[in-house]
């Protein structure tokens, strides 16, 4: 984001006129990186600088990128029509209009959901063309056979003609009932249907990584935090 005048930036973020902003600055209500500012012509970077109005952080970021550790029982949608959505889990500090989950996890899937208001970024990470891998850990009702692993690694076609791109699989236990699986696309119930095609039911599913960014294990299920610039660059 290119630096811009503080008064210009604030007039986009707060329902105040330039003269009201000037008055507020004179009263010491506006701080920039911890210092009260009287000159609102100072240039600021909305993504990097911290601006407070009357002690409260002003949302000056161009876009927000949020990591949520999704629990079971909430849906990835902006309007739950009576059901709880991932947006309902965000604290008031993180909430703002225009946010949506970039990609859907099933209601009973847990783990990493990226919430943003940056449509281009979301599209980039979701499009299979861009090969942004999503890593999941799937618990299965029975061991997956060697042949099943091979089929999923080669890309499997279901009887109804649905084709799934090749996945990468790694067994995480000796019984081969806990499997790490990486995919680049996000078809409806993709992983459950892939395993079903090779004779296994998925009993638990968690998304742990998007691109090169791991779910922060300090986040308990239901908790969310902003993604840093450095973390964002690991995603795509």
What residues are annotated to the active site? 106
Q: Which stretch binds ligand URA (CB under 6 A): 8-16, 46-54, 103-111, 156-164?
A: 103-111
- For the segment 104-123, give every residue that binds ligand URA (CB under 6 A): 105-106, 109
> Site for ligand URA (CB under 6 A): which residue of 7, 118, 190, 206?
190
We find the least distance from the C-beta atom of residue 90 to ligand URA, in angstroms, to be 20
Q: Which stretch binds ligand URA (CB under 6 A): 14-22, 33-41, 64-72, 101-109?
A: 101-109
* DSSP alpha helix (H) spans, 57-187: 119-126, 146-154
Burial category of 215 from C-beta neighbours within 10 Å (exposed 0-12, middle 13-18, buried 19 and up): buried
Determine, following the binding rule CB under 6 A, whether residue 189 of this chain makes contact with ligand URA.
Answer: yes
The DSSP H or E segment spanning 231 is helix 229-235
Determine, following the binding rule CB under 6 A, whether residue 176 of this chain makes contact with ligand URA.
Answer: no
What's CA 3's distance to the chain center, in Å? 26
Q: Name which of 107, 104, 100 is nearest 84 in CA terms.
A: 107
CB 16 within 8 A of CB 10: yes
By CB under 6 A, the count of residues binding ligand URA is 8
> Site for ligand URA (CB under 6 A): which residue of 144, 167, 191, 224?
191
We find the least distance from the C-beta atom of residue 205 to ligand URA, in angstroms, to be 6
How far apart are alpha carbons 159 and 167 in whole angstroms? 18
We find the least distance from the C-beta atom of residue 121 to ligand URA, in angstroms, to be 20
Determine, following the binding rule CB under 6 A, whether residue 156 of this chain makes contact with ligand URA.
Answer: no
We find the least distance from the C-beta atom of residue 76 to ligand URA, in angstroms, to be 8
Q: Which is nearer to ligand URA, 109 or 151 (CB)?
A: 109
For residue 15, the tally of other CB atoms under 10 A from its CB is 6
Crossing angle between the packed helical segments 146-154 and 190-197, to the nearest 10 degrees: 130
Where are any strands of DSSP class E within 56-167?
A: 56-57, 65-70, 100-101, 110-116, 134-140
What residue ranges bind ligand URA (CB under 6 A)?
Answer: 105-106, 109, 189-192, 205
């Amino acid at each position: 984001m290119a630096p811009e005048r503080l008064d210009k930036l604030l007039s986009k973020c707060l329902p105040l006129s330039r003269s009201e902003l000037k008055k507020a600055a004179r009263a010491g209500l506006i701080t920039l990186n911890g210092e009260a500012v009287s000159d609102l012509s100072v240039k600021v970077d909305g993504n990097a600088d911290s601006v407070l109005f009357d002690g409260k952080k002003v949302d000056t970021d161009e876009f927000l990128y949020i990591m949520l550790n999704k629990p079971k029982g909430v849906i990835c949608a902006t309007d739950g029509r009576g059901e709880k959505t991932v947006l309902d889990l965000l604290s008031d500090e993180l909430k703002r209009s225009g946010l949506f989950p970039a990609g859907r996890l099933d209601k009973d899937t847990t783990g990493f959901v990226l919430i943003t208001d940056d449509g281009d970024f979301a599209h980039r990470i979701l499009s299979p063309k861009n090969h942004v891998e999503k890593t999941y850990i799937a618990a299965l009702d029975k061991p997956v056979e060697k042949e099943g692993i091979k089929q999923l690694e080669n890309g499997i076609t279901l009887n109804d003609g649905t084709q799934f791109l090749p996945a990468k699989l790694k067994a995480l236990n000796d019984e081969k009932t806990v499997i790490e699986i990486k995919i680049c696309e996000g078809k409806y119930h993709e992983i459950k249907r892939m395993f079903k095609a090779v004779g296994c039911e998925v009993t638990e599913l968690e998304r742990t990584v998007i691109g090169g960014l791991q779910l922060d294990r300090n986040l308990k299920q239901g908790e969310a935090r902003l993604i840093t610039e450095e973390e964002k660059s690991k995603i795509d």
